Amino acid sequence: MKLLSQDRPGGPLISAILVLLLIGLALAPFLFPGTRALDTAARICVFVVLVASYDLLLGYAGIVSFAHTMFFGFGAYGVALTSEHMGRSFAALGIGTLSGALAAALLALAIGLFSLRVRAIFFAMITLAVASAVAVLVSQMSALTGGEDGLNFQIPRALTAAQKYADFKLFGVTLNGKLLNYYLVFSCATVLFLVLLRIVNSPFGRVLLAIRENEFRAEAIGYRVVWFRTGATVLSAVAAALAGSLYAIWLRYVGPSTVLSFEIMIDILLMVVIGGMGTMYGAVVGAVIFILAQNYLQGLMGLAEGALQGLPLLPQLLDPDRWLLWLGVLFILSVYFFPTGIVGRLRRR
């Protein structure tokens, strides 16, 4: 309970789901064999942190930001650039991660102080503008960032499949650097999630709720709203940057479409809403459902289409090429039936 900052998931069903997900992710290399499955699991770990950090902003502080992928990108490009220029080493990863997080913190501070004094909507507009500007810069400064092609870089051999740690297989899994890399991602993501959970349950987190509920009164009982909002922005930016660094280390690649694009921003928003705003645990549920749907819905529809061959209309509707349509339908349904998100719905008050 101390680890969870006295914030229980609430309700036996949601607790059971979360425990299952935790076990699933912790043992993913052994439970779900194959590169694709492991890739999906790592992606889920990274996005849980990214979505949780956005929930801190949106669900707790009530601030709408469109710059979250930008901060994610800072962390990712930080690692890529240092690895590119310093050579493959853990030092490069460390320095890249720290400098990405620092850059994210400074920019978040500047945006926050500049725009949060006025109105929340103004902040949303500014983040949109800054994020677009950064995306354009990254694609234009191709000498440094690799432009639209992005950057492939090398990470220490200890974290790649080339490094073997044992001659035997454990439950059919080769003990190599890739496995170590997964557990690096998994454990960092777990720690970051617990830290975020701690922050939202701290006295500071309670003030964020108060500001979301009634900023006018929060000020009148002695909280300086601008500072708290800026603080939340900086914290969430740093967490997003750290998630970005993890993602880059896992992929050994960064590019605008994988870490900076506006589509990712929309994905994050959807994951927060589906999981449940202002619940933190919603980030886990939202990220898992969304990423599984993104990765496997198409294949599942292919199977369904095959099974329904010969029936009128149905095979056409379930054509794998229409998977985005069905993803959309799923979201509309989930928002309609769970307006407070899945965790919000399952949580007993």
Q: Which is nearer to another protein, 234 or 283 (CB)?
A: 234
Q: What sign results for the dihedral spanned by CA atoms 27, 32, 34, 40?
A: negative
- Enclosing H/E stretch for 253: strand 253-254
- Selected from 129, 209, 293, 327, the binder of another protein by CB under 8 A is 209
CB of 349 to another protein, least distance (A): 8
Q: Which is nearer to another protein, 105 or 249 (CB)?
A: 105
Report the phi/psi class of residue 62: left, alpha or beta, with left for phi > 0 and alpha for psi in -120 to 50.
Answer: left
Binding track, positions 164-203, relative to another protein; x by CB under 8 A: ----------------------------------xx-xxx
Q: What is the DSSP string of 136-185?
A: HHHHH-HHHH-GGG-EE----GGGSTT-EEEEEEETTEEEEHHHHHHHHH
CB of 231 to another protein, least distance (A): 8
> What's the token pair of residue 308?
């329904």
Q: What sign results for the dihedral spanned by CA atoms 32, 33, 36, 41?
A: positive
Q: Are 64 and 86 contacting, i.e. CB atoms less than 8 angstroms apart? A: no
- Find the distance separating the first CA and the last CA of the chain, reported in whole Å: 18
Task: Give the strand pairing for 151-152 and 164-170.
Answer: unpaired
- Selected from 9, 112, 156, 205, the binder of another protein by CB under 8 A is 205
The CA angle 224-226-229, to the nearest 5 degrees, is: 110
> What's the token pair of residue 232?
């939340």
> What's the token pair of residue 18?
């979360």
Q: Are 122 and 63 contacting, i.e. CB atoms less than 8 angstroms apart? A: no
Q: What does the alpha-carbon distance between residue 310 and residue 274 come to, in Å, rounded to a whole number?
A: 35
- Enclosing H/E stretch for 23: helix 12-26
CB of 210 to another protein, least distance (A): 5
Contact range with another protein by CB under 8 A, out of 24-32, 67-75, 210-218, 288-296: 210-218
Q: Which is nearer to another protein, 223 or 326 (CB)?
A: 223
Count of residues that bind another protein according to CB under 8 A: 27
CB of 200 to another protein, least distance (A): 9
> Is 113 near another protein (CB under 8 A)?
no
> Is 34 near another protein (CB under 8 A)?
no
> Is 214 near another protein (CB under 8 A)?
yes
> What's the token pair of residue 261?
């694009």
Q: Which is nearer to another protein, 198 or 322 (CB)?
A: 198
Q: Which is nearer to another protein, 120 or 158 (CB)?
A: 120
CB of 6 to another protein, least distance (A): 5
CB of 277 to another protein, least distance (A): 12
Q: What does the alpha-carbon distance between residue 24 and residue 14 come to, in Å, rounded to a whole number?
A: 15
> Is 39 near another protein (CB under 8 A)?
no
Residues 226-255 contacting another protein, CB under 8 A: 228, 235
- Selected from 166, 168, 172, 222, the binder of another protein by CB under 8 A is 222
> Is 217 near another protein (CB under 8 A)?
yes
- Selected from 224, 307, 328, 332, the binder of another protein by CB under 8 A is 224
Under the rule (CB under 8 A), what is the footprint of another protein? 5-6, 198-199, 201-207, 209-210, 213-214, 216-225, 228, 235
